[in-house]
Structure 1
């Protein structure tokens, strides 16, 4: 029998399960390693799920006409005119991204760091991955000069980069690339004949949309951009697994859509009927959905900014968050002091945080970052408490000042301060 080598499980999911086990055993942990939007379920979503329960038959692979039209309307309202025939829905954006990897030939270009799923998916599809460093100001998009050089170096070495994955706003840095950068990257993609996949699942979680301009690559290069999105982050229904993809309007876009649908027919057959009912309602964006999106974006922004402030006060460098619910601190300024405590890379930094302070983070090495860097991703969306406390946080004028959140933030600040303190034993909380 031929031995089969398996890749390890997704690190964020593995850490989430570790936290669940340790909490069940009585450990008190601050969980910053899993990007789940913990929010109370909107009653209207539960109603739609119940209505859709009778939709028990298989449906079209790409999705029923109603849900595809609703998603098309969602994009059209965001300045991207879209026909329903250019939409595919699936059980979360993750399988849609995998189907794209299977459908597009050539190798993959990724920002460095990037969400921890992109690179493994490319590997499963038999592709090489070329990481490109991000600028100092923002993530989710590679530095244009470094991207150009990476493409040339990859081709000289026999690689065939064809697919560029971008994230707006970014996971893991919580930042948003400015319009000028989007235009520059799109021009480079045209010159180098790259297909862009723009992961915009956090688009509706821009913290201050009036002050923060959002430009999608699909606005600039519609003929070569696929946009993916979903409902897990904006509405807190990650376990329901609802995603969607928008394809280019031209003939090539139609052929790519057909290829993704063919892959989907072998991978998941169709988005579950009850979830299509939910998606049709949610993507149509009735007033209660829009109100929840505004409230959650405000909440995510307030707590992410508080964690950013704590990291900076502890001595880290950190890009200010603008969207989503992440911060990505860099403890390089404290390297000398951390080395005295055995912390020399992102893995040992994450290990020290959990061992000494019960703070669980996702080390940058798990996100394609340089292993020796002292960086990690902190997901701030799990700090809102139980369902009743989450509702209070959504309604609060200053969510970070609520006692249950403020207490956790104080513990986080103490944990960061303990990093460089000799003999700092973990205190009970």
Structure 2
């Protein structure tokens, strides 16, 4: 049977995740120091785990409302108002999802018609373009540049807008660069969204992980933007809850209703045990992640200093837990550098091209790993850099 002829062309033509393809090379190797996997190196805080255990002991194993537990939505409403200074009605404007990935997917599916264009920035997390394509939209890439610390420039966005543009998708702080958005550029992008009557998706998954006393600003906070913004957030990064698969979307009621229609047929609801854990996480608030955030800031300082010291230029990222050093001075491509480093020094980083063509010449290093392993990995990387430059 010709299975290719049976597949959806939308799926058949999608590339596999560049991150996962690379880490197929790592599986089964116990000698590798990984600076590649984008998740916290600590387990979920105990009070959050304990809340899930208690829910199981009480036999709380049922479905919940499609929108999610009302108590969790109320807690999300309070958390978002405190974090982003925007108020959402927990009964109509909040949807609990199976991770932010599901929230992003169903938001695209709920809003896009075939041929609608979505402007997004690269380098970026690997799922944006595939999610747009699976919803029959057209991805429109705007590249961010190191000289702007990988912030998205409003002038570049404006050049990309056409009569088919429907959505601008933002993710700041950004995976893989750690870049953040200056207020002035965010305000200009908000003005463009209003002028052209566009919807904005803003993925805020790393917003708690900011450094150097920075304060996060969401585009949803800006005047005239709440009514045209889908705010996406979750528990994976700040609360070290990657495996719990719990996220949420906040948006005007008509948009949440449309997203809920997709959600109820493909997922029904997020697992109740995860939702109970999420409720405890929001009760803990910053106490659940502040020590970890401070530790990340110290690790960032170490890894940035070491990378620049070995001649791999790296800007000091303002958020998330990634650095994106430039490796062009070695004469290698991003993939060649990453494969060579893995094969010769047993250190795993991700080629920048996994995050789009704009990532060529860079690699992503995740510093959410033990400080002593970061030091060891930098020692080995410096050896490798010196060897390839000879």
* TM-score above 0.5, yes or no: yes
Distance across 2 between alignment mates of 1:281 and 1:150: 42
The answer as to whether partners of 1:138 and 1:177 remain within 8 angstroms in 2 is: no
- Is 1:138 aligned to 2:125, yes or no? no
Q: Secondary structure, in 3 states, of the residue corresponding to 2:208?
A: helix
Residue 257 of structure 1 and its aligned partner are, at CA, apart by 0.7
Residue 17 of structure 1 and its aligned partner are, at CA, apart by 5.1
| Superposition CA RMSD, Å | 2.0
Question: What does the per-residue CA deviation read over 1:32-81, in whole Å, with 9 as the maximum and x for residues that have no partner?
Answer: 22211121332211221022222222221111211110100101112112
- Is 1:83 aligned to 2:89, yes or no? yes
Which residue of structure 2 aligns with residue 258 of structure 1? 257
Distance across 2 between alignment mates of 1:423 and 1:217: 44
Question: What does the per-residue CA deviation read over 1:106-147, in whole Å, with 9 as the maximum and x for residues that have no partner?
Answer: 2211112111111111121122211112242333x5221111
Q: 1:235 to 1:13 in 2, by over 3 A?
A: farther
Which residue of structure 2 aligns with residue 7 of structure 1? 14
Which residue of structure 1 aligns with residue 366 of structure 2? 379
Which residue of structure 1 aligns with residue 54 of structure 2? 51
Alignment equivalent of 2:354, drawn from 337, 355, 366: 366
- Is 1:419 aligned to 2:371, yes or no? no
Q: Secondary structure, in 3 states, of the residue corresponding to 1:421?
A: helix
Distance across 2 between alignment mates of 1:297 and 1:151: 37
Q: 1:316 to 1:423 in 2, by over 3 A?
A: closer
Q: Secondary structure, in 3 states, of the residue corresponding to 1:89?
A: strand
Deviates more, 1:49-58 or 1:85-94: 49-58
Which residue of structure 2 aligns with residue 387 of structure 1? none
The answer as to whether partners of 1:91 and 1:271 remain within 8 angstroms in 2 is: yes
Distance across 1 between alignment mates of 2:377 and 2:68: 46
- Is 1:68 aligned to 2:73, yes or no? yes
Q: Secondary structure, in 3 states, of the residue corresponding to 1:274?
A: helix
Alignment equivalent of 2:321, drawn from 318, 321, 325: 325
Q: After superposition, where does 1:249-288 map in structure 2 within 5 Å?
A: 253-283=252-282, 285-286=283-284
The answer as to whether partners of 1:133 and 1:143 remain within 8 angstroms in 2 is: no
Which residue of structure 1 aligns with residue 134 of structure 2? 124
Q: After superposition, where does 1:143-158 map in structure 2 within 5 Å?
A: 143-152=153-162, 155=163
Q: Secondary structure, in 3 states, of the residue corresponding to 2:168?
A: strand
Q: Which ranges in structure 2 are unaligned for 5 or more consecutive residues?
A: none
Q: 1:418 to 1:172 in 2, by over 3 A?
A: same
Alignment equivalent of 1:170, drawn from 145, 149, 174: 174
Which residue of structure 2 aligns with residue 390 of structure 1? none
Which residue of structure 1 aligns with residue 240 of structure 2? 236
Q: Which ranges in structure 1 are unaligned for 5 or more consecutive residues?
A: 248-252, 385-399, 425-429
Which residue of structure 2 aligns with residue 295 of structure 1? 291
TM-score, scaled to structure 2? 0.90
Which residue of structure 2 aligns with residue 355 of structure 1? 343
Equivalent pairs, count: 373
Which residue of structure 2 aligns with residue 198 of structure 1? 202
- Is 1:224 aligned to 2:234, yes or no? no
Distance across 2 between alignment mates of 1:318 and 1:411: 16
